[in-house]
Amino acid sequence: MHSFTIVFISVLLLTLFVQVWLSTRHINHIRAHQNKVPEKFADQISLADHRKAADYTCAKTRAGYPAIFLHATILLIFTLGGGLDALNSFWTEWTGNPIFRGMALIISAFLIMGLAEIPLSYYRTFVIEEQYGFNKMTQGMFFTDLIKQALLMFMLGAPLLFGILWLMDKMGENWWLYAWAAWITFNLFLLAIFPTWIAPLFNKFTPLEDAALKIRIEKLLKKCGFRSSGLFVMDGSRRSNHGNAYFTGFGKTKRIVFFDTLLSRLEPSEIEAVLAHELGHFKHRHVIKRIIASFLMSLAFFWLLGYLMNQHWFYEGLGVTVTAVPETAMALLLFFLVMPVFTFLFHPISSIYSRKHEFEADAYAAQNSSANDLIHALVKLYQDNAATLTPDPLHSTFYDSHPPAALRVAHLETQTQTQLG
């Protein structure tokens, strides 16, 4: 057996073990604490709601087990099982052009993976979300969304893929720098068009009509020095009972979006506090920092791909036939298939970085609105979204971009005390 094959299988098995172990820990920890509401939340959340959140979270976590093994199975079939070789041979018979053959190979591989995911997504939506009263989607809407997403990915992704493969083939040893520049340009383009061209394909956005709330929000925006292209309400209730708010776009396309479900459940002062938290991300330049971090990470990945593309052991160790001149499309596809396996154990780094930003945004909200209002809003959102108040700490460190409820509320209470002091 090839030495890199041994490394690949070992890391894959380790990743599988850690994922299953973390999920099992998470379920056991939640079950151990499901019969008592944490003291900080006892006045606002009933034991029945606490148990519902425990049941809902455990159901979602258990539904993740098949996904874990499905991803590993598909990966092994594609690599050591000869699946990518078979796909490549199939498309070789249809076209001799290496770029178009490479595009067909990559698109068909991702299509197969997407089709395999549909039953799991259907189960999450129409069994778990339905059971706990969150799903509002019809089957027609579910499949229509899938078709829209597939068409959108093809329309946007195919030109990008063609450009990347062309650069890999034509630009010599430093192709990865040109490809990285193309990737950055593409992502900035997506950020610019998402609010006005992409998001409206899936949801309806209407200007905020509540005059009193609008005045209140505009005062906060002026105070914080934030300019946007508008305040919008999204019909999130068409698909789900979950609520949220977010910023989207950048530059002149920035807009603030509230889920209609959020507006229906929170008081005006609580909505202001939630928005102040989002403004905290803007004030601390978190979005820009994350974009820069992702671009630097992508530069490292493109450089690594540029190295691996010329290493025969990379193909041979993953069960792919290697030619005298390795194919760029196969290298690109292999890289993106196996990279999540080798980077999974680094997830906590991203989680810690994101949580730092959340704490900073909470502190900003406490300074510019009310920490107590934000606490009340968060507790309502935890309750309405059936988010567990007692996640397993290690599972949360790996997967959660936001701090656990208890830590976040304790941090805001400290801000409250500072304000009173």
Q: Tally the residues of the chain.
A: 421
For residue 105, the enclosing domain spans 1-421
Considering the chain, what is the average pLDDT of its residues? 90
Q: How large a percentage of the chain has pLDDT more than 70?
A: 96
Most confident of the following: 11-25, 235-249, 276-290, 349-363: 11-25
Among 278, 327, 373, 384, which one carries the catalytic annotation? Answer: 278
Count the domains in the chain: 1
Tens of pLDDT, residues 13-65: 999 999 999 999 999 999 999 999 998 898 889 999 999 999 999 999 999 99
Q: pTM for the whole thing?
A: 0.90
Tens of pLDDT, residues 152-173: 999 999 999 999 999 998 898 8
Among 272, 327, 358, 362, which one carries the catalytic annotation? Answer: 362
Is 362 annotated as catalytic?
Answer: yes
Instruction: Give the residue from 11, 26, 24 showing the smallest Cα distance to 340.
Output: 11
Most confident of the following: 5-19, 218-232, 322-336: 5-19
Rounded to 10°, the helix 328-343/3-32 angle is 40
Is 327 annotated as catalytic?
Answer: no
Q: Are 182 and 160 in contact (CB under 8 A)?
A: yes
Cα dist. 369→217, 287, 406, 418 in Å? 11, 21, 21, 14
Q: Quick one: pLDDT at residue 251? A: 63
